[in-house]
Structure 1
Amino acid sequence: MIKTNRNFLVMQSVGGKIHSPMVSSPYRISRDGEPMIVPATGGISYNVKVGDSCMKWVGDHVEPGVSIRNENVPENTALMVLGCIGNTAKVISGDAKGAKGFVTGGHGGIEHTLIYFDDDVLEKLALDDRIMVKAFGQGLKIDGFDDVTCMNIDPDLLEKMDIKVTDDGMLEVPVVTEIPPYLMGSGVGSSTAFSGDYDIMTGDKEANEKYGINDLRFGDIVLLRDCNNCYGRDYLKGSVTIGVVVHSDCIKAGHGPGVTAIMSCATTKIKGRIDKNANIAHYMGVIKK
């Protein structure tokens, strides 16, 4: 079992409110030039959950569960940067006050933190209800792997992932598929991967079939080949990034399922082990439909 520095990490409160969907123009233009009116980011998505397919929804950048944001920009940056996948989230206002869920990812651009709650909690929630997150995980390191940058993941979740150290000194991580670098689109070039996500482009049907993209689910853990996320999002041959699928497929060119990075290395110190159960819904004990 891997060992980490978790005992020295700071657990700190961050938070935001459930953020309403926003529509500036009714139409979104698809990669095929078609004007479409579809649901997109924000709000409470009652029937879209971590563990479900992220590819079959009639929508654009749809976020599973609950989308929260803080209108104070520096405070929202703290929520986005310090909040980690797997962190405990607690409702602190409204009819669902006291209910608990967990963070499933961060969506850059719209700057939403995404939260899972059980169905009975979703029915009690309302727009503008406040959610507090016990931020815990940034600064995480794995003993013996100083060149591997960990980010955006709660240590408890990391320990549930059955990561192994191989005889040749590599980290072997369960993943559902491996994605080539040329399919990574919107978000490439960002200054940091410690916040938000970037997208797997889905405009090529043959690539979607070849790399198992059509079968991706919210919460799936994927390996991004030749993608260096240690100091921003970049192409580097031989580098490896592990990430979690956080939002749905998209209709826009250059976009697709969003991936929040949880681990990256500029050299090939990480390898994948194909496992269909490599999904945070499985590790967090969420019952899927």
Structure 2
Amino acid sequence: MLKTNQDKLVMQSVCGEISHPRARTYRFDTEGQAHMVPGTGGITYNVKVGDYASGWKGDHVEPGVSIQLSDALKNSGLNCMACVGNEAKVISGEAKGEKGVVTGFHGGIEHTLIHFEDEIMEKLSIGDKIQIKAFGNGLEIESYEDIKIYNLDPKLFEQLGIRKQDNGNLEVDVVTEVPARLMGSGIGSPAYRGDYDIQTADPQDYKDFGLDKLKLGDIVLLRDCDTTYSRGYLKGAVTIGIVIHSDCIIGGHGPGVTTLLTCKESKIKGKKNSEANIVNYLNLK
């Protein structure tokens, strides 16, 4: 088993409120056609982690529950401190006391995404407060200081079953690999928060890499993508991430990927496994 500094990490509470869905105007696709469809925010009852990321009549649809704070500085604390796999607890409203799990972070809109079981979702309301035990920031693997870990709860890190190969590289189960040329929105943004979109505008590439079959919560490998500090192309770099929102109509966008591990060199290898999804690692329903 890989040794980490888990015993040195700090656990803090962060809190957000269930956001209201937003709709400013029509969304235009790459052919110039206008669409009025659901997008970010709110409580999304029928799109959850484990469901397909593509095919919905929507744009940037966030699975489960989306939370944020109106104060940008405090919301930044929520986005930066919480980690995928952290426990989330409802602290107001009819569902008070119920628990869920953090599943990702959506940049631009700056939402933190939470999974709850169906019966809990029915009790939730816009504005309900959800508190998270933020734990995982600063996580490191002993003797692998050049591999950066972001947004990852130590428990989930262990569940991923990351293995050390004979040559010292690390091997991670992934659903698929994505080439850097398909990565769009999010380039240049800080890597420790938010997400990085897989572009959908080239239907042949999208199909060739199995991206039309991606599921929310899937673990994927981004080839030649350096997300050590900011997001961008670097030959040989590798990023492991989790798919956090649906595909998109807008050009340059698509299923979002939140960084979990990254390295400027090819020290992380992917092994194809169609079951590499957070619902299987954390037994989510």
Q: TM-score, normalised by structure 1?
A: 0.98
Task: Give yes or no for the alignment of 1:194 onto 2:195.
Answer: no
Matched to 2:10, the amino acid is V
Secondary structure of 2:280's aligned partner:
helix
Q: Match for 1:22: what amino acid?
A: R
How far 1:23 moved relative to its partner? 1.5
Query: 2:249 maps to what in 1?
Result: 251
Equivalent position SS for 1:226: strand
Match of 2:50 in 1: 51
Unaligned runs of 5+ in 1: none
Mapped to 2, the partners of 1:3 and 1:34 lie a distance apart of: 52
Structure 1 residue 110, shift from structure 2 partner:
0.5
CA distance in 2, matches of 1:144, 1:70: 38
Report how far residue 143 of structure 1 moved: 1.2
- Cα separation, 2, equivalents of 1:204 and 1:182: 11
CA-CA distance at 1:162 after TM superposition: 1.0
The answer for the alignment partner of 1:211 in structure 2 is: 209
| Distance in structure 2 (CA, Å) of the matches to 1:70 and 1:239 | 34
- Is residue 2:34 matched to residue 1:35? yes
Does the alignment pair 1:17 with 2:7?
A: no
Question: Are positions 1:235 and 2:210 aligned together?
Answer: no
Instruction: Read off the aligned partner of 1:6 and give its amino acid letter.
Output: Q
Deviation at 1:97, TM superposition (A): 0.1
What is the match of residue 99 of structure 1?
98
SS at match of 1:67: strand
Unaligned runs of 5+ in 2: none
| Whole-angstrom CA distance in 2 between matches of 1:131 and 1:273 | 35
- SS of structure 1 residue aligned to 2:223: strand
Query: CA–CA distance in 2 between the matches of 1:184 and 1:208?
Result: 11
Deviation, structure 1 residue 90: 0.3
* TM-aligned CA deviation for residue 7 of structure 1: 0.6
Q: Give RMSD over aligned pairs.
A: 0.6
SS at match of 2:95: coil
- Tell me the TM-score normalized by structure 2: 0.99
Q: What is the distance in 2 between the residues matched to 1:174 and 1:15?
A: 32
In structure 2, what is the equivalent of residue 126 of structure 1? 125
- Report the Cα offset of residue 276 of structure 1: 0.7
Match of 2:32, SS state, is coil
Alpha-carbon offset, residue 227 of structure 1 = 0.5
Kindly state the Cα deviation for residue 146 of structure 1 after the two structures are TM-superposed.
0.8
Q: For the residues of structure 1 that align with 2:149 and 2:24, how far apart are their CA atoms?
A: 36
Q: Which amino acid aligns with 2:3?
A: K
Instruction: Summarize deviations over 1:134-172 as a string: whole Å, max 9, x none.
Output: 101110001121110000010000100111000000010
Paired letter, 1:199:
D
Alignment of 1:64-213 (within 5 A): 64-190=63-189, 192-213=190-211
Q: How many residues align?
A: 285
- Structure 2 counterpart of 1:146, which letter? E
Q: CA deviation at 1:96?
A: 0.1
Shift in Å, 1:285 = 0.1
Matched residue, 1:62: 61
Measure the CA separation in 2 of the matches of 1:22 and 1:178: 32
Whole-angstrom distance in 1 between the partners of 2:78 and 2:151: 11
Deviations for 1:75-124, whole angstroms, at most 9, x for unmatched residues? Answer: 10000011100000000000000000000000000000000000011000
| Deviation for aligned residue 1:2 | 1.3
